[in-house]
C-alpha cells in the first residue's frame, strides 16, 4: 500500500483511497435497507439502527483519508447490524 500524501501536498496516487470509496458506498446503501425494513422491526428498531448508522458514518468520514481500509470494515458493520436486527425481528 502506498503511503498517504504529505501534509499540504497533492495526492500522488488516488488508488490508495479505493477501499475508502467502497466502504462509503456500503455506508450509503445502509439507510435504504434500514428504512425499507422499518415495518418489520418497528420504530424502536429503526431508531436504534439509525443511531448506529450515524456513529458508523461519522467513523467512516473521520477515517476516510488516514485509514481507508477501516472504512470498508465500518461499511460491512453497518450492513451486519441491519442483518442482525432483521434476523432477530423474524
Rounded to two decimals, the pTM is 0.84
Residue 2 above 80 pLDDT? Answer: no
* Matching residue, cell 488516514: 66
pLDDT digits (tens, 9 = 90+) for 59-88: 999 999 999 999 999 999 999 999 999 999
* DSSP H or E segment with residue 14: none
- d(C-alpha 90, C-alpha 79), whole Å: 17
For the chain, what are the domain ranges?
14-89
Cβ(82)–Cβ(37) below 8 Å: yes
With vertex at residue 22, the alpha carbon angle to CA 55 and CA 66, rounded to the nearest 5 degrees, is 65
Amino acid at each position: 500500500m502506498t503511503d498517504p500524501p504529505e501534509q499540504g501536498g497533492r495526492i500522488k496516487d488516488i488508488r490508495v483511497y479505493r477501499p475508502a470509496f467502497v466502504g462509503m458506498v456500503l455506508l450509503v446503501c445502509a439507510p435504504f435497507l434500514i428504512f425499507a425494513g422499518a415495518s418489520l422491526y418497528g420504530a424502536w428498531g429503526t431508531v436504534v439502527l439509525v443511531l448506529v448508522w450515524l456513529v458508523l458514518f461519522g467513523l467512516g468520514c473521520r477515517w476516510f483519508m488516514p485509514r481507508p481500509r477501516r472504512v470498508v470494515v465500518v461499511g460491512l458493520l453497518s450492513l451486519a447490524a441491519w442483518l442482525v436486527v432483521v434476523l432477530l425481528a423474524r
